[in-house]
Every structure is written in C-alpha cells, then in structure tokens.
C-alpha cells in the first residue's frame, strides 16, 4: 500500500471520528421514566434529562418523542458544559390548574435551542375565565408557557405554543435570540395571552412566525434594543406594540426596532407605540415600521401617549416618555375604523422626527370618511397619505 493511499485512509478515519464526535448526545425522556399517557407527570423525567445533558461535554439533545406527555412546572438553569437542544416531536400538556409565573423556565443558558414539530399546550381555558389581573393587582399570577431569562445565543424553531394561560413567551435579559417558523395559537377571547413579550434584551429576531392570540402578537417592553421582526403574520390579536412605557420607575430606553414585511389580519390594532400619562419618564427611538399589509385592522397606525386601560392611571398630566426617530413607510390595506392613522403624542414631550411615507389604507364603513389625526407631532410626509390629514 503506497503512502498516498495510507494518508487517504487516515484522513477518512479522522473525518469519520470528527463527524461522530460532532453528533449530539441524545437524552430521551422516556429513558428517564416519562410515559406518553397524558396522565403521569413527566416534569421530573425532563429535569433528570436536563441535569445529565447540562453536565455532558459537547452538544446534547433532550428528546420529547411522539405522544402526549403531561408536565408540571419545569425550571432549569445553566451554565451548562455545552450547547443543549430540546427536540419536541410530541405534545406537552400543562395541568389545567397549574399555578405560578412560568411553565417552562430557562435561566442563564448559552447556545440553547428548542426545535421540532411538537406542541406546548398550556390548556389555558380555565385560567382565562379566572384571570382578573388587569383589574386586580393582588391577583394570583397565571403561568406563561415559556420564560427565557438571560439566554445567550438562543433559538426557538418550528414548535407550537398553544393556549397559554398567560403570555405565551416572555424574553428577559437575553442576547442574540431568534424565533423562526414559530407558531403561537390561542383564541381571540383569551385574556392577556401576548404572543412574544420582549424586555431588556438585545439582538432578538422574530422571523417567519405565525401568531394568533387574544392580546398583542408581539409586545416590546423597556430596555429592548436591536429587535428585528420580519415576515410575521398576526391575527387575531391586538397587533404589534411597543409598550406600554412609562408605567414604572427606572425604565430603560427602547431603541433600534425594525418591523418589516408583516401581515396583520382582523386585529384590534396594527403597529402601535403606547405610553402611560403622568407617570414616569422613558424613551423610544430609532423605530421603523415598513412594508406592512393591514387586512380589516382597527387602528392600523397608532401612537397613544394617553394609554390608560381600566382607568388605572393618573391621567392629569402628559406622558413623560419621549418618542423620536420613527418611520412608518409603505403601509397598505384596509382599515376597520375611519381613524386609520392616529398619532397622539405627549404635550409635555412632543414626538420628534416622525416620518409617514406611502400610506394607503382604505375604509368603507359607516363612520364617515376616513381620516388621519396628529396631536403634538409634525410628521414629515412623503408619497401618498391616504387618508389625508396630519398636515
């Protein structure tokens, strides 16, 4: 055997070994006692699989195979020795009477992925009937389907979040986190079921995602920076919202928000920035809504700096939140209300550097001719503005 042949065989051997080593170690929850009968609590099996996966060197995969698994609260944290993926092929169901703030809680984990065609079913119907948190600050918290806290390099891909008891997803303190081909589903009547809520996080991406729920499809809280939302379909729901801001002390600035190529259908609002009057300061800047289709949307374009749900605020003074650097371009479709464009900015801190370009929203209801209305703001208008106004 010549040296060239020997070298080729050695190279192929090393290549094979490297490929084998690159394959993640799989931890199937059924090997830890999980039973797909929809009755036995599998949370301990998931926690045991996580413990071993987190301690393993190299990449690891926790497998939720086909079938229906009942699971109580799962709370895990890093750091782990390598990247971890949870692949969900089946359905995980929360008990109808589950309590607490979160169902699946992930803290301080780097290089973390949730994937698969499976479903996280929060079984939220009983919780929605009992949810009065919007009116009663002493209410018991309802669990969200997912809480991601302080994750770096996270990915949620292909899975479905169904009927969460509260928000479907809460993202806090995360960096470089992507949602792709993610599905969120709950009925229009479900209470407080925001799709994805982001706060104090940097570099979050929401791509090719379908959200239908009973509250904001995407809600953007204080401290959110460099968020990109692209090709998201929203409806039913309350639209894509920045805020509410200014309700609490020491809120962090919101900046670098880009929402492009989205479609909103039969939603309560379209694209919205909202802040509370007369409370605390804050800012929202460098915000861009572009290439968005509205289909029968109430309040398609809305800045509301007098946001005061259920009369819970002191509305005797203007909002202290400063909004600036906002562009709203190429928004087309149909409005379910005559007031298609409403920019209601603060009299104490008027909006600055707001641009409206190529807005074409048709209205054919009984409220009279369509109109735009602007208060405490002088937007730059280019191209078409239909309905006219705001000059």
Which residues participate in catalysis according to the annotation?
A: 238
- CA–CA distance, 244 with 220 (Å, rounded to integer): 8
Cβ atoms of residues 309 and 135 within 8 Å: no
Cα(318)–Cα(246) distance, rounded to whole angstroms? 11
Q: How far apart are CA 67 and CA 17, in angstroms?
A: 34
Alpha-carbon distance values, 206 to 185, 188, 211, 301 (Å): 16, 21, 11, 20
What is the distance between the alpha carbons of residues 161 and 174, in angstroms, rounded to a whole number?
Answer: 20
Burial (CB count <10 Å: 0-12, 13-18, 19+), residue 93? buried
Going by C-alpha positions, the residue among 175, 110, 103 that lies closest to residue 141 is: 103
Nearest to 208 by CA among 160, 157, 172, 265: 157
Burial of residue 18 (number of CB atoms within 10 Å: 0-12, 13-18, 19+): exposed
Helix (H, G, I), strand (E, B) or coil at 344: strand
**165 three-state secondary structure:** coil
Letter string b/e over residues 189-224, b meaning 16 or more CB atoms within 10 A of that residue's CB = ebbbbbbbbbbbbbbbbbbebbbbbbbbbbbbbbbb
What span, in angstroms and rounded, lies between the C-alpha atoms of 224 and 275? 15
Query: What are the backbone dihedrals phi and psi of residue 311, each rounded to the nearest 5 degrees, phi first?
Result: 60, 35
DSSP H or E segment with residue 225: strand 225-230
Q: Torsion angle of alpha carbons 78, 79, 80, 83, nearest 10°? A: 90
């Amino acid at each position: 055997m010549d040296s060239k042949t020997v070298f080729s065989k050695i190279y192929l051997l090393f290549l094979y070994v490297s490929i084998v080593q690159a394959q993640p170690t799989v931890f199937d929850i059924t090997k830890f006692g999980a039973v797909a009968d929809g009755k036995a609590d599998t949370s301990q099996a998931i926690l045991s699989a996580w413990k071993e996966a987190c301690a393993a060197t190299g990449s690891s995969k926790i497998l939720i195979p086909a079938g229906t698994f009942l699971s109580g609260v799962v709370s895990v944290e890093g750091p782990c020795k390598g990247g971890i993926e949870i692949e969900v092929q089946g359905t995980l169901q929360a008990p109808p009477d589950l309590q607490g703030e979160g169902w699946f809680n992930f803290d301080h984990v780097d290089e973390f992925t949730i994937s698969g065609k499976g479903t996280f079913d929060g079984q939220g119907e009983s919780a929605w009937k009992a949810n009065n948190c919007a009116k009663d600050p002493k209410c018991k918290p309802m669990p969200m389907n997912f809480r991601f806290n302080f994750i770096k390099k996270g990915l949620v891909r292909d899975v479905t979040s169904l009927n969460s008891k509260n928000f479907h997803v809460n993202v806090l303190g995360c960096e470089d986190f992507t949602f792709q081909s993610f599905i969120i589903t709950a009925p229009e009547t479900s209470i407080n079921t925001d799709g994805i809520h982001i706060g104090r996080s940097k570099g979050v991406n929401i791509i090719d995602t379908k959200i239908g729920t009973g509250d904001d499809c995407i809600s953007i809280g204080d401290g959110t920076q460099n968020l990109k939302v692209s090709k998201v379909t929203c409806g039913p729901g309350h639209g894509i919202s920045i805020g509410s801001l200014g309700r609490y002390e020491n809120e962090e600035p919101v900046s670098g928000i880009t929402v492009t190529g989205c479609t909103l259908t039969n939603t309560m609002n379209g694209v919205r920035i909202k802040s509370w009057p007369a409370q605390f300061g804050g800012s929202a800047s460098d915000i861009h809504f572009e290439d968005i289709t509205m289909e029968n949307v109430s309040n398609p374009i809305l800045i509301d700096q007098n946001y005061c749900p259920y009369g819970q605020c002191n509305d005797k003074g203007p909002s202290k939140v400063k909004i600036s650097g906002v562009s709203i371009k190429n928004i087309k479709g149909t409005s379910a209300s005559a007031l298609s464009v409403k920019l209601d900015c603060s009299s104490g801190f008027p909006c600055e550097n707001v641009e409206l370009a190529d807005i074409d929203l048709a209205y054919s209801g009984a409220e009279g001719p369509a109109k735009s209305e602007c208060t405490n703001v002088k937007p730059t208008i280019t191209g078409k503005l239909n309905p006219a106004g705001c000059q």
